[in-house]
Structure formats: structure tokens, C-alpha cells
Amino acid sequence: MSFTPVIPLTGYAGWTFLQRTLDTQKAAFDNSAAQQRDEDYFTAKIGSIRSAEELVSDYRLLKVSLGAFGLDDDLSNKFYIRKVLEEGSLDSSSLANKLTDKRYLELTKAFGFGDFTTPRTVLSDFPEEILSAYRERQFEAAVGDQNTDMRLALNAQRELGTLAASSSSDDTKWFKILGSESLRSVFQTAFGLPTSFASIDLDQQLTVMKAKAKSLFGSSSISDFANSDKVDALIKRFLIMSDLTGSSSSATTKGSSALTLLQSSGSAANILSILH
């Protein structure tokens, strides 16, 4: 039996509920029979895998491997994934380095088939490294089945802290956001930018994003998102703006008005007190 995350409300009220119950819901999801079967199989088999060909030939191992990086949709693209894994990350001309979506680069770095004579799959802590990421991503996907905005918010909460703390230049961090469909969606919605924004010149997009961040958050530096309060503020604005513009995608019925939330910071707490 699988566990379905509970999200009784949309918008910021739903996010507040999800955050309050996150540990309990994650534990229930991780302990579900389907999740445990995936983890047990991966733990038992991955240590014997020595090549990209062997990995892509095992559907169940590939499912977990791709799921750990949010690449579930590529499960049928075995030739493509094998090429990404075999070319590795060390050669600047490799496929993973050429791709805008850096999840592929993270994938090939993690497995090391194209970078080392002996892949990282033989390391004793490798199964848990991949499974930890798999649990996070699969829970986010399950949340997304209930409410797409909540999945995007969870993804932003997970990724922004890491991106902010990286040694890359600030412009490089912004370009990584613009190159990430999920992070771009959060910022673009939070900043009130139209979907057509993605079609303008990339340097112009960067200029607009930085100006919007400066105006709304007092700084255009992505490094500031190492502060969880700044991430929370972004997510709150994203969820409220999504409700206001009617772009929120949810399997649940809207339980509160975004406009009310903007006018009363206590609304979410009041709703949650009723639920409990």
C-alpha cells in the first residue's frame, strides 16, 4: 500500500499545513510498502553494477537512479541516459556538460561510470546517498500529484539553500535558476512575470530578475537565499501570487482566498487551528 500526502488546503494555508505535518507525512511515505520494495532492491543490487549498460538494463535500478534526480520521465530513454552516464562529467565536451538541465550532470557525477575506472556504485555509502535523494524526490512527486504548486515550493526549499551556498558567481546562480524549469516557475510567478517572459533575450531576463529581487527582497543576490527566512518569503509570495493569478494547479478544492491571506497574516493559523 502506498501513502498519499494529505494537503487539505491550497495556497499558503496549505503550505503551512504541509510544513507542520512534513516529518510525519514523510515518515509514512518512506515506510510505505512500495517505497520499501524499491529501496530493498536497490540496496541489494546496486553494488554489483559496474557499467552504464548494466544500470540501464535493469528497470528497477534505473527507476530509483533517475528518480533520485527528478528524471523519472527519462525511464524509457535508455540510450540517451547511457550516453550521459558513459561520457561522464570530466570532459567539458561531454553530453551532460552541454545540457542546460544540470540534473544530468549531477546524475553522471554521482555514478562515476565515465569518470573513474571503478564507478562509485561500489562504495559502501553509495546506496544510502542515492536513496536519500530518491526519498526526497518521490515524496515531492507524490505531493505534486495533489498540488503542483506545493511540489514546486518543496523543490525550491530544497534547492535554493544549496545553490545559494555554492561558490559560483551570482550571475551564474541566476542563470542556473533560469535554466531550471521548476525554480524559474517559482521566481517568475512570485515576481508577477508573464509566461512570455521566458522568450526574451536571456541577458534581459537576468536584468529583470535581479531588479525584481532587489525591489521585493532588498537584494538581488542569490547568496541571500542561504537564509531560510528569505526562502520562506519567496515561497509565500509564489503561492499567494499563483492563487491570485489563477495559475495554481491542484487536485484539492481551494480552501482559502489568497486575497484574504494577503490582508490577514493570521488566516492560515486560524484555518489550521480548526483542522486540529
Nearest Cα neighbor of 130 from 56, 32, 61 is 61
Q: What is the pLDDT of residue 194?
A: 92
- The pTM for the full model equals 0.83
- The alpha carbons of the chain give a radius of gyration, in whole angstroms, of 20
Separation CA 264–CA 226 (nearest Å): 27
Q: Cα separations (Å) of 78 from 2, 10, 130?
A: 27, 37, 19
Alpha helices in 68-193 (DSSP H): 78-87, 95-98, 103-111, 126-146, 148-165, 170-179, 181-190
Q: SS3 sequence, 20-33? A: HCHHHHHHHHHCCH
- pLDDT (tens digit per residue) in 98-150: 998 889 999 999 999 999 999 999 999 999 999 999 999 999 999 999 999 99
Q: What is the pLDDT of residue 152?
A: 97
- pLDDT (tens digit per residue) in 14-69: 999 999 999 999 999 999 999 999 999 999 999 999 999 999 999 999 999 999 99
Which class for 54: exposed (0-12), middle (13-18), buried (19 or more C-beta within 10 A)? middle
The percentage of the chain sitting over the pLDDT mark of 90, rounded to a whole number, equals 82
**Do 222 and 174 meet the contact criterion of CB atoms below 8 Å apart?**
yes
* DSSP 8-state assignment for residue 124: T
Separation CA 192–CA 223 (nearest Å): 22
Q: Extract the C-alpha cell encoding 242.
A: 499563483
Backbone φ and ψ for 211, nearest 5 degrees, come out as: -65, -40
Q: Extract the C-alpha cell encoding 186.
A: 517559482
In this predicted structure, the answer to whether residue 258 has a pLDDT above a threshold of 80 is no
**Do 102 and 179 meet the contact criterion of CB atoms below 8 Å apart?**
yes
The percentage of the chain sitting over the pLDDT mark of 70, rounded to a whole number, equals 89
